[in-house]
């Protein structure tokens, strides 16, 4: 059974482990582990977790499968660093969306994506955006299959050395 629930202070360690592990599993073939362990250091993520919970522009959810925390999804107003065009009014961002590798292909991602888009629509956003690494072919396919389209907005110079681009989905059709 899949459960999506708001994160609380007790989730800090699970959050940190999921981010660090998911980055290594997803991007480890083209982003160095050294960079990942620096930017997604488990102890630092635990310390910074409270800030995520207290950010009024974000909602952080924990994803459970059979009562085990297996992923996270963070959504809301785009971070100023993620702004990719002049008019961001009405655009909500799927900021972090990670499911542990052992729980891929179980329908969890589809359920969480639908939940996130519905929640962004409830918050008044008209478009959902997400930054995707150009080399992350699985994510690109996943989002395309759910109605996201690749935009012309790219960032070639990233701190991790992996170029990214934005995909968007019109929430007018989201249920």
pLDDT tens digits for range 49-100: 988 899 999 999 999 999 999 999 999 999 887 778 778 889 999 999 999 9
pLDDT at 174 over 60: no
Over range 147-173, report the average pLDDT. Answer: 92
Tokens of 67: 């009562």
Over range 33-62, report the average pLDDT. Answer: 92
**Chain segment 118-130, per-residue pLDDT in tens:** 999 999 999 999 9
Q: Which of these, 104, 97, 25, lies nearest to 62 by C-alpha position?
A: 97
pLDDT of residue 87: 82
pLDDT at 109 over 90: yes
- 122 burial class (0-12, 13-18, 19+ CB within 10 angstroms)? exposed
Q: Which domain holds residue 110?
A: 2-173
Residues of the chain above pLDDT 70, percent = 98
Domain count, the chain: 1
Can you give the pTM of this predicted structure? Answer: 0.93
pLDDT of residue 16: 96
What is the rounded distance in angstroms from the CA atom of residue 119 to the CA atom of residue 73? 11
Strands 149-155 and 127-133: unpaired
What is the rounded distance in angstroms from the CA atom of residue 83 to the CA atom of residue 175? 26
Over range 168-172, report the average pLDDT. Answer: 95
What is the rounded distance in angstroms from the CA atom of residue 99 to the CA atom of residue 158? 23
What is the rounded distance in angstroms from the CA atom of residue 3 to the CA atom of residue 6? 10
pLDDT of residue 173: 58
**CATH assignment at residue 77:** 3.40.630.30
- The distance in angstroms from the start CA to the end CA of the chain is 21
What is the sign, positive or negative, of the torsion defined by CA atoms of 123, 7, 17, 58?
Answer: positive
């Amino acid at each position: 059974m899949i459960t999506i629930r708001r994160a609380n202070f007790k989730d800090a360690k699970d959050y940190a482990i999921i981010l660090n592990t998911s980055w290594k599993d997803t991007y480890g073939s083209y982003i160095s582990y050294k960079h990942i362990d620096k930017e997604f250091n488990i102890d630092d993520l635990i310390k910074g977790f409270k800030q995520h919970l207290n950010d009024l522009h974000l909602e952080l959810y924990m994803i459970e499968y059979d009562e085990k925390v297996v992923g996270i999804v963070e959504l809301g107003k785009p971070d100023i660093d993620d702004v990719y065009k002049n008019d961001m009014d009405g655009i909500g961002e799927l900021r972090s969306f990670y499911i542990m590798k052992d729980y891929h292909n179980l329908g969890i991602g589809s359920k969480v994506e639908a939940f996130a888009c519905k929640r962004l629509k409830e918050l008044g956003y008209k478009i959902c955006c997400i930054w995707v690494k150009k080399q992350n072919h699985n994510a690109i396919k996943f989002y395309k299959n759910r109605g996201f389209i690749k935009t012309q907005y790219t960032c070639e110079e990233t701190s991790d050395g992996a170029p990214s681009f934005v995909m968007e989905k019109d929430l007018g059709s989201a249920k």
